[in-house]
Each structure stands twice: as structure tokens, then as C-alpha cells.
Amino acid sequence: MTWSAPELPPLDREAAAELRRIVDGKAKPPGALGRLEDIAVQLGAIQGRVDPSAERATVLLFAGDHGLTEDGVSAYPREVTGAMVRLILDGRASVNALARAVGAEVRVIDAGVACSLPPHPLLQASKIREGTRNAAREAAMSADECAQALECGAQAARAAVEAGAEVIALGEMGIGNTASASLLLHRLGPAPLADCIGLGAGHDEAGLARKHRALSTAAERCDAQGPFEVLRQFGGLEIAGMAGATLAAAAMRRPVVIDGFISTAAVLVAARLQPRVLDYCIFGHSSAERAHRLMLERLGAQPLLDLGLRLGEGTGAVLALPILKAAAAMAREVASLAEVLGQA
């Protein structure tokens, strides 16, 4: 199959200007609520309304395995991916606890886990293949597989919106996916490869050296530059899924809250395919994975939180959701200064 990035609607500048006027006229000094005011205006511009809402949020958690694990890029075996997906579907992972705390729904998309998963009401079974190929030796995906992964993400976003989601949050699970994200940053940032590689999930110095060797081999194997080809050569099925979901959510005028290093790599791909998508993205946090800050700089993104998180699963995006709710509630519910003065 072939896949093309959707055309995205421009932000509603009239709604943004009117909402900025409304927010500035609230019973407070202009700008006193800082970035909360900017988020409210961004939500209104995305949704095309002056009474923005962020009450119903769905976490789309994409899962897939990586052939690069054959070369020791992760401290954990790839079997952990399937085990963690089962834990998430059981509702007992970190993302589940945080999502319950903030009132968000979690849905899992199996884009390429290297094992069979039993049917589950919260699971979208979209397995394209059981993990990518080893990008140090060959392309991670065929063009058709990459297109399928992008489309499976788009389908997940469309289904969530049809079910009533006002906000989409991104999450992922995939052993070895920091290696893939490092290669994407290297080519699409662009940035020197050495600056793009971090410890990932628990590497020691020997493991980090193995990761450097494997990723150097992968980068030397192929000189791909275009976003689709870079994604095909070095990406993950779950990363492609998140890129497709981001673009589809933006096409439906939904804000997308981004998690950490891996999710941001997917947005990097999406932004190189369709730059306007960044208007629809809100970056939840700055990860402790060292290359995440570099990736955020390349995208001109300013994250909301910095809590030293490096788990993934969408946890940082989930923790940012109450800020969006608060921004929307402020825009809708706070009295205007004119009302206050009229009552004096």
C-alpha cells in the first residue's frame, strides 16, 4: 500500500484572537497565569471554539518489537515487550495507575509485538509483523509495512475521536526503541549520532558501547534522508503508528499530548512529513533520556513538565493532561474583570 500525510487544517486564528481577548479580560492581571493562558488559546485555536474542552482524553499506547535488540542495544530481552503489554491490558502498569488518577482512558495498539496477544476489549490488533528487522543489517520495514504501520496509527486515532476523545495522548512500549529513536534524531534532526544516543532502559557502560557500535553500523549502512525512507530504514512499527496517529488526530482538530523520547521521535517524523502538525502538539515533559532535550530543541518545543521521567508508556503525557483541563476550565469558568468591577 501507499501512504500520504493528510492535509491539515490551519489553526482557527479568529477563535485564537477572541480567546486571547477573553483570557486577557479575566479577573486577573494579563499574563498572570503564564503558559496556562497560552495553552488555553492553543486549545481554542485547535478546536475552533472560544470555550475549549479537554475533559475526555484517550491514551493511544503503541507496542512493537525491534530487530536491533539482536545486537544488544537494550539491557532487556525483547520478550519484556509482550509481558508489559499484558500487564498494561490487565490495568496494573504505571500508565494505568496514572491514567486512572487523571481520568484518562488507555487503549493499546499492537503494531508489531513479537508474540501472540489474546483478544482484549482495550487492544487493537494491528500486528504488521513480529518486530522490525535488524536495522544494523537491513531496512527495518518494507515500504508497504511502514505504510501499514502509519495507517494503523491513523485508524486508532480516528476510532478514539469517534468514541468521543477530545484529546489524544501518545504512549509506547517496545524494547530497543530508544535505539531506533536515536537513529531518527540523527537523520531527521539532524544531529551527530553520538549526541543522539543515551543509556535507554538501564544500560551500563558496556551496554552503551554495544549500542553505539550497533547504531554506527546502522547509520553507515544507509544514507536515507527523506522522512518516510528514514522511518522505513530505522524506525519501529510502534513509532510509525504514533506518527500516523498524530497526523490523523491533527486532521480531526484534536490536540495531541506527547510523551518522552520515543513519542517525540514519532512527532519528529510526522513534522518532517507535514510541518503544520506541530501546531496541534503539546509536549508533556522533558525526559531524563539525554537526547530528548536535543530533539525538543530541533522541534522548537517547550515541554510542560520536567520530573526526571524515563519510563515511556505515555506516563509523562498522562501527567500533563490535568494542565490542559485546567487551562480549558480557566478559559470557560473564570469571571471577567468587567464582571468584578460591575459588582464593586
Backbone angles phi, psi at 46, to 5 degrees: -70, -50
104 within 8 A of 320, measured Cβ to Cβ: no
Check if 313 is active-site. Answer: yes
Cβ atoms 241, 157 nearer than 8 A = no
Beta-ladder partners of 60: 107, 170
Tell me which amino acid residue 44 is: G
Q: How far apart are CA 87 and CA 163, in angstroms?
A: 24
Ranges of H-type helices in 163-191: 177-188
C-alpha span between 179 and 67 (Å, rounded): 10
Q: Of 7, 313, 333, 339, which is the active-site residue?
A: 313
Which grid cell sits at 131?
Answer: 518486530
Q: Are strands 57-64 and 167-173 parallel, antiparallel or unpaired?
A: parallel
Which residues have CB under 8 Å from 112's CB, separation 6+? Answer: 63, 64, 65, 127, 128, 129, 130, 131, 132, 149, 236, 237, 238
Which residues are identified as catalytic? Answer: 313
